[in-house]
Amino acid sequence: MSSRRTTTITGSLLTACFSAVMILSHTAVADDQGPGSGKGGKAMDKAPTGVEVTTLLPEKISVDNSTQKTAITATVKNEGTKESGNIRMLVVGFDGLTVKNVEGCTAMAKKDLPEGSNSGFICSAGNLAAGKSKSYDVDATFDLSKTGKICLPVQTSDGKKTYWQQGPVPFGTTNPSPNAPATPLLLGTDNKPVAPGGDRLPRAGGGSEVLPLGMAGAALLSAGAAGLWWAGRRPRQEH
């Protein structure tokens, strides 16, 4: 994987838009993904007064049809008026979307993944000041013959409370382009894959997910009809 950087920026800058989608053969790019969106997000456990954490995902990503590689920018921010306290964000993949790496974050052990997920990383965001955010470059692959979902829970550093959870929310397209160099996918859209010959493939993945996990801490109620999430282990300290 190429080296990427984790940056902390002001909340106001998060609204900056990127206009074009760059399609580069055999590579995945995290830029030009459109404005960030909190689609599929929901407040969970009550946060301390003055703390309001949320997440953002790009409205669109691009999957290289030959390598299945894609890149996603995942952002956690504090829209409140007080410091967040030490928090962490989890980046978890489902179905055809597999998270390969998140720069500066720790991979979850297979036994610690929630049921139905295939990959996950724990990102220690530290203590976010009011109006501040932290963005992470996510390397992933997307099997276009399946649906694919991603989930971003934001928890206390010990995983005992979840203040916010975005997802599991799908990326997908209703108009596949198997013969093109890349396939653009939109956030909040179920993928409807088509084989190169034009034959529709069976759709993988279901609607709601129930995601119990035998880890220490409180069980977490998922966004919408997603079911139960988990309370995870304390991540390794960042250097």
3-state secondary structure 58-70: ECEEEEECCCCEE
Which pLDDT tens digit goes with each residue over 67-123? 999 999 999 999 999 999 999 999 999 999 999 999 999 999 999 998 899 999 999
Q: And the tokens for 25?
A: 């053969």
Segment 44-71 shows an average pLDDT of 97
Give the mean pLDDT of 188-199: 72
Q: In the predicted model, what is the mean pLDDT of residues 22-32? A: 36
Distances in whole angstroms, Cα of residue 77 to Cα of each of 48, 84, 91, 134, 162: 15, 9, 15, 6, 14
In the predicted structure, residue 209 carries a pLDDT above the cut 70: no
Mean pLDDT of the chain: 77
Q: State mean pLDDT over 215-230.
A: 37
User: Which CATH fold topology does 13-229 show?
Assistant: Immunoglobulin-like (2.60.40)
* Amino acid (one-letter) located at 227: G
* For range 162-184, the mean pLDDT: 93
Question: Where do the structural domains in the chain lie, given as residue ranges?
Answer: 13-229
pLDDT above 90: residue 236: no
DSSP line for the chain = ------EEEEGGGGG----PPP--TT----S---SEE-TTEEE-SPPPTT--EEEEEESEEEEETTT-EEEEEEEEEE-SSS---EEEEEEEEEETEEEEEETT-EEPPGGGSPTTEEEEEEEEEEEPPTTEEEEEEEEEEE-TTS-EEEEEEEEETTSS-EEEEEEEEEEE-SS--TTSSEEEEEET-----B-TTSPBPPPP--SS-------SS--EEPSTT--EE---PPPPPP-
The whole-angstrom separation of Cα 211 and Cα 168 is 10
